Structure 1
Amino acid sequence: MDSYLQSVSDPSSHSSSPELYAPAVPHAAPTISPPGSADARGPTQTVPAACLACVLTDLVHYRADASPSSLKRAKHLKCDGSNPCSRCLSSTSECVYVASRRGYKGPRKGSAANPNKRHASDSPPSASGESCPMLLGAQVRTPAPSTMTTFNRTMSVPDASVPPFVTAPVNNSLQIFRTPYVNDANGAVVAVNGQMPRRSIPEQCIDAFYFYFYPGHPAVLPKAHIMNLAKERNIEHLLAAMRWVGSLYIQIGPARATFFEEMMRLLYAPDTPQDGFLVQAMVIAIIGLDGCRQNDKAREILANAEQIATALGLYTRAYATTHGCGNPRLEESWRRTWWDLFVVDGMIAGVHRQTNFLLYDILADAGLPCEEHEYLSGKIPRPMYLEDFDDQLFSGEDREFSSFAYRVASIRNLGRMMRLPGSGFSPEESVDKVESLLSNWRLHLPKSKRDCLNKDGQLDEMMFQAYMINHACTIILHQPLSQLDSSPARDVTACAPHRDVQSGDSFNLHTRHIIKAACEISKMVTYNVPITSHTHFFTCVLTLSSIVHLSKWAAVWFIADEEDLRQQIRLNIGALNKLSSVWKAAETAGGQVKGVAQEIYRSRKAQQTNPQFWEHCTSEQIMSSLSADENIMSEINLLPSAPESVMPPP
């Protein structure tokens, strides 16, 4: 590890290039192509060993009849035994052979070496005799109980149909495919013989993690540095969490279940050190599990992460210096780890309303994170602290705080709101105090932070989340005291239980607050970035916004801004639809919002058949209302239930 720390401590070795966290191929999101079709150059000969690409393809073809006899036949279909085989040549797949050890009694005397067979020393043997985790019969050892809660292996993450022959890997390497290429000192891929190599599935998952997930939760080291660190010490549990979350964004089939099993096994392995890297892995797992609607397991790991982080003193000013080994980037990573855990704890408490934001009550003095471009370049300034942020208006010092710091400040306001008597259901004077905090946060933003774009015109994901949290706090704070009847949206419970709000004779100030916040959330959908690159918690904030929109549509028959309302409902459902390609929570929420919209439409249609309903209306109002309702539902019904895959960004 000393060699790595020495190399990254030198500022001259740092690079501000976005390739540190983006996929290796510029302007393209990581994707995986399906296995190629069968070779058409002639009849397939029976060979003693089939390559791994052919094995996986044929196993998929035989998933409807996954009997032992069919799997046995599948291992020897359509592979001619060449290296590379003709089938891999036609599909541009990497050709790797898996040696079978069945009945092996040592080398035959006088036999010539077969170049198509892999020697036993090429990969470590497994307890079951099969080293490939995709083959039937692969076994995994059950980890011994640790100081944390034991992982329940019967729990599984919702996913596309996983064939019954998929099991967890037997080793920690997850080297599903060999990779005939090398990396340079910065972790970039180097061409071999003038050709760029094909990325393996684990590597593409890491690329997807950095492209999609990392901008929303940038706590771990940038890609090049985490890979260098992995050569010096065992952080396989962290890499396993990154691989699994990255796999949610791309099409990899049954390998996703393998990555999930490996992550959970390593998080709870007795020999996994309980250090800052484990906290980072657990935070990644928490977000992924919460997005996959495994809320109970996410809360269980969150409790463990909070216990480990506080026991380590991750929240203290000294932790980053003591455990940063003189490396400014690693010190910054530790500060980010604490504050990202802090934000995740607050978001889960706020959107699900089932936890109490435990970390809010800890007197943390860890330094506030710097700007993203400073972290990536390694030019990290002296950290500032919460007291600096709180005193900035009165100290007279002109200080520039990072977007991450404003994100932390925004989630702190959520914590203050949750500490009100009755968890938000408090008298109006208490609500006014929290509203002052929310308004002051917005009013005192510097000019550079008054939108979600950075100086280069690119989306600032940290400010995006800061605004998102602020708008969500406004809805959570004011909704109980508003006069907008919430009963029409009672079935939208994907993120949190229904909150019963009674209607009033007219809209009061609290109602105007939540309507404005809901509109601002809908506008956030329009940023020209892949919607799946936002944090998963945007799903629940969109759901909050949708509840307000639907309640307004149900309560008001003649809406002056009905065209805007229609577009906002359509934006929210479309965004949830896109997010559902990655997150099960978004699929559930989107389905509920769409179902409530259809129910409200049917109710409005039934009311409109009563002549007394139109008694005081002009013909223009009648035609306008009927046309608007028809347009809303026709546009919503045209939206698909869920996209088939995540499309790469333009």
Structure 2
Amino acid sequence: MESYTHAPSVAPSISNPSPTALLNGHGHGSEILNQPPHSTSVPSDSGAVDSRASPPNTVQAACLACRGKHLKCDGKYPCSRCQTSESECVYVASRRGYKGPRKNAVSNPNKRHATDSPPSAAGDSCPMLLGATVSTAAPPSLATFNPAMVIPESPATPFAPPGMNGLQLYRNPYLNGTNGSLVEANSRPQTVPERCIDAFYYFFYPGHPAVLSKDYLLKMSKERDLNHLLAAMRWVGSLYIDAGPSRATFFEEAMRLVYAPNVVKDGYLVQAMVIILIGLDGNCQQEKAREILSDVERIAIEIGLYTRAYATMHGGGVPRLEESWRRTWWDLFVVDGMVAGVHRHTNFLLFDIVADVGLPCEEHEYTTGNIPRPMYLEDFDDQIFSGEEREFSSFAYRVASIRNLGRMMRLSGYPSDENVNKIETLLSNWRMHLPQSKQHSLNKNCQPDEMMFQAHMINHACSIMLHQPLSQLDSSPAREVTACAPHRAVESGDHFNIHTRHIIMASCEISKMVTYNVPITSHTHFFTCVLTLSSIVHLSKWALEYFIQDEDELRQRIRLNIGALNKLSGVWKAASTASSQVKGVAQEIYRTKRAQQNNPSFWVGFTQEEIISSMAADEGIMSEINTMLTSAPSAP
């Protein structure tokens, strides 16, 4: 148990936060506006002031940039100084000196009390809450920007605090510390950087839970420079909300800070770079992501992040921080394996590193700070033979699952039947020896368990990659589906063999994962490529010339995969590309089948019921696919 107390969920009110604090998401206290109070009387810094006592040309409030420099502000929006310097112009309605409404005061319809809602040119709506940006100026160019990168812009689903839009509440501890309390939607308008940080913890963090929880990280950022990590979190968080032009600015800032000449090479830098490379990979910038992956692997090995001693030496005696370092190594390990598996361009470098880092604990233990004594890979491997009853975390099973992928990639002479049997033994053992609590992607409280979701996802994907080369399911109909990896040619056979059965079963299990009652965008973006892998198998089977008994079920699975890819398209460009390719192949297969059905000889040997059923099912799925094509969200 940790010795220090939890940081409060809401920081004390600060009357004059600096622009830097606002950019970093640390601004608290007064309501933040992106429009100045022009025609409305606002309490000045010295307290509530009657509008009759102020000269007509008196500026009642100064923007934050002018306040920070102690300069006179003209009160315009943007003010002349910010317009000249192309700075962000933000106003704060100060409450300093306010003692409540005056008694017996003369009614003034133009006077706004300090407790009233902030003024807005758009009526009652608040631009911050609607996803508007605080600046419309173009992002500044960076002469020292390395590596250069521009992310396309597009709106995504606006982020709302948990509990306000029907999403699961189990993610609240990631946002608000260990007490799981909700932030009231109307407590105060959030800045765009703050909303991006919240979106990071709500959507991205559960899939890659290595950084400290929000309250502890913000507390730590006051003691040391974590601007590069916060910048990376802001950029990835901006992918989930309508951040406008700020998204490009956040990305440039994150890249500039992680590649700054004086940046400290430590676990925080590794965390920032992993977050960025995942975001780049999900936005079809795979080459740039691989460059960062190579850099972060070198840094992690150089600082000894893979050693047991690193967490102890750099944890400062704080169990939660030590656990964060263990998670940082293993999450990098998993990401390295996922990139190698789904893209087939890298070789899973970290698999060959002899690491003795402790395995991560359960998520609820990490978020509450009740960190148990860590167990290790040798404990996991020997659990059957040691006779010791030990319960390993979902994160540990995720690590074990990706290790099987690494073993498959290291086999020489693959894919021979002997090597395939060796790996299938590992995959089957992983599944058969799962405890009852890990059989499904739910924790003991029946809430979604993202770590087990990924562990099962990786296992099914390994099964497809292992058996597909030796299967007899012709993959040529889906050769255009190359969003994640190049086409893998598989020759057709007269009869299905055992390898074909393996890939069909694994593909069905992946499609079934779409049905879990959890927002699709809360899963790791690598689920996009696993769905694509599953879709290739489904499409190849659907393209078979002869009648398929479970054809209707097969088409429903294709619909599931396309629907999930469409949802992911709202955040990840890679999902948009994959969705377009899968739908294109599905349409081509449909047209080919319709052409075959127009030939009377095609139906020889089929009953009338089978003919009607097949035609009706074809019409149904293509109607759905055409609807998806016209209503699919645009990719970022």
TM-score, normalised with respect to structure 2? 0.78
Find 1:159's aligned residue among 135, 153, 162: 153
Alignment match, 1:132: 88
Q: Deviations over 1:238-259 (max 9, x none)?
A: 0001001011111121111111
Query: 2:402 aligned with 1:402, yes or no?
Result: no
Within-5 A mapping of 1:493-572: 493-572=482-561
Kindly indicate whether residue 34 of structure 2 is the aligned counterpart of residue 53 of structure 1: yes
User: How far did 1:184 drift?
Assistant: 11
Q: Percent identity?
A: 65
Question: Equivalent residue for 2:431?
Answer: 442
**How far apart are 1:234 and its partner, in Å?**
0.6
Tell me by how many angstroms 1:291 deviates.
0.4
Q: 1:113 to 1:534 in 2, by over 3 A?
A: same
The amino acid across from 2:34 in the alignment is A
Alignment of 1:335-484 (within 5 A): 335-421=326-412, 425-484=414-473
Is the Cα contact below 8 Å between 1:247 and 1:256 reproduced in 2? Answer: yes
Residue type matched to 1:264 in 2? M
Q: Report how many residues are paired.
A: 529
Equivalent residue number for residue 27 of structure 1: none
1:463-516 deviations in whole A, cap 9, x for unaligned? 000000000000000000000000000000000000000110011000000000
Is the CA contact (8 Å cut-off) linking 1:208 and 1:247 kept in structure 2?
A: yes
Change (3 A) 1:398 1:557: same
For the residues of structure 2 that align with 1:450 and 1:514, how far apart are their CA atoms? 20
1:297 is matched with which residue? 288
Change (3 A) 1:241 1:642: farther
Counterpart in the other structure of 2:113: none
Once residues 456 and 405 of structure 1 are traced to their aligned partners in structure 2, the CA distance between those partners, rounded to angstroms, is 19
Equivalent in 317, 321, 325 of residue 326 of structure 1: 317
TM-aligned CA deviation for residue 126 of structure 1: 9.2
When residues 444 and 119 of structure 1 are mapped into structure 2, their CA distance, relative to the original with a 3 A threshold, is: closer
Contact 1:82 1:116 in 2 (8 A): no
The residue number in structure 2 matching 1:595 is 584
Deviation at 1:297, TM superposition (A): 0.8
Q: Is the 8 A contact 1:123 1:131 kept in 2?
A: no
After the TM superposition, which of the residue ranges 363-372 and 563-572 deviates more from structure 2?
563-572
Mapped contact 1:367–1:383 kept (Cα < 8 A) = yes
What residue in structure 1 maps to residue 62 of structure 2? 117
Retained in 1: the 8 A contact 2:320–2:371? yes
CA shift, 1:612, in A, is: 2.0
Q: CA deviation at 1:628?
A: 2.0
Which residue number corresponds to residue 585 of structure 1? 574
Q: CA 1:303–1:264 in structure 2 vs 1: closer, same or farther (change >3 Å)?
A: same
Instruction: State the SS of the aligned residue for 2:521.
Output: helix
Alignment deviations for residues 586-640 of structure 1 (CA, whole Å, 9 cap, x no partner): 0000010000000000111111222222222222222222222222212222224
Q: Distance in 1 between matches of 2:509 and 2:310?
A: 38
Hey, what does 1:96 align to over in structure 2?
A: none
Name the CA distance, whole Å, in 2 between partners of 1:215 and 1:186.
17
Report the TM-score when normalising by structure 1.
Answer: 0.76
Hey, what does 2:221 align to over in structure 1?
230
Counterparts in 2 of 1:184 and 1:381: CA distance versus 1, 3 Å: closer
Which of the residues 607, 619, 627 maps onto 2:608? 619
Residue correspondence of structure 1 range 9-408 to structure 2 within 5 A: 9-10=2-3, 13=6, 53-54=34-35, 80-82=38-40, 114-118=59-63, 122-123=67-68, 129-132=85-88, 134=135, 136=137, 139=140, 142-143=143-144, 151-153=146-148, 155-160=149-154, 196-408=187-399
Please list the CA deviations of residues 449-468 of structure 1 after superposition, one character each: whole Å capped at 9, or x if unmatched: 11111011101000000000
Report deviation, 1:563: 2.1
Provide structure 2 residue ranges, at least 5 long, that are not aligned to the other structure: 11-31, 44-54, 70-80, 90-134, 157-175
Q: Partners of 2:139 and 2:454 in 1: how far apart?
A: 42
**1:304-360 Cα deviation digits (max 9, x unpaired):** 000000000000000000000000000000000000000000000000000000000
Moved more, 527-536 or 194-203: 194-203
Report the CA distance between 1:132 and its aligned residue. 2.0
Structure 1 Cα separation of the partners of residues 177 and 606 of structure 2: 73
Range with greater deviation from structure 2 (261-270 or 409-418): 261-270
- Structure 2: distance between partners of 1:643 and 1:534: 19
Contact 1:128/1:137, CA 8 A, preserved across alignment: no
Alpha-carbon distance between aligned partners in 1 of 2:517 and 2:384, rounded to the nearest angstrom:
34
1:575 to 564, 576, 581: 564
Would the aligned equivalents of 1:487 and 1:500 in 2 still touch at CA under 8 Å?
Answer: yes
SS of the counterpart of 2:222?
helix
> Secondary structure of the equivalent of 1:499?
coil
Contact 1:317 1:366 in 2 (8 A): yes
> Which position in structure 2 is the counterpart of 1:23?
none
Q: 2:514 is paired with a residue of what secondary structure? A: helix
- CA separation of 1:610/1:265 partners in 2, compared to 1, >3 Å: closer, same or farther? same
Query: Is the contact made by 1:14 and 1:377 (CA closer than 8 Å) also made in structure 2?
Result: no
Contact 1:578 1:642 in 2 (8 A): no
Alpha-carbon separation, structure 1, partners of 2:268 and 2:585: 43
Question: Does the residue aligned with 1:260 lie in a helix, a strand or coil?
Answer: helix
SS of 1:232's equivalent in the other structure is coil
CA-CA distance at 1:135 after TM superposition: 5.5
Q: Deviations over 1:382-419 (max 9, x none)?
A: 00000111111111101100000000000000000111
Change (3 A) 1:136 1:398: closer
C-alpha separation in 1, matches of 2:284 and 2:136: 29
Contact 2:155/2:241 (<8 A) preserved: no
d(CA) in 1 for partners of 2:274, 2:292: 8
Rounded to whole Å, the distance in 2 between the matches of 1:11 and 1:556 is 67
State the 1:562 CA deviation: 1.7
Rounded to whole Å, the distance in 1 between the matches of 2:63 and 2:152 is 36
Whether the 8 Å contact between 2:139 and 2:249 is mirrored in structure 1 is: no
Deviation at 1:9, TM superposition (A): 3.1
Task: Decide whether aligned partners of structure 1 residues 561 and 139 sit closer, same or farther in structure 2, where only a CA change above 3 A counts.
Answer: closer
Over 3 Å counting, the alpha-carbon distance change for 1:138 and 1:529 in structure 2 is: closer
SS at match of 1:406: helix
Partner of 1:487: 476
Letter in 2 for 1:129: S
Uncovered stretches (5+) of structure 1, i.e. residues with no partner: 1-7, 20-50, 56-78, 86-109, 144-149, 163-182
Residues 315 and 614 (structure 1), Cα distance of their counterparts in 2 relative to 1, 3 Å cut? same
C-alpha separation in 2, matches of 1:534 and 1:517: 19
Deviations 1:36-63 (A, max 9, x none): xxxxxxxxxxxxxxx97359xxxxxxxx
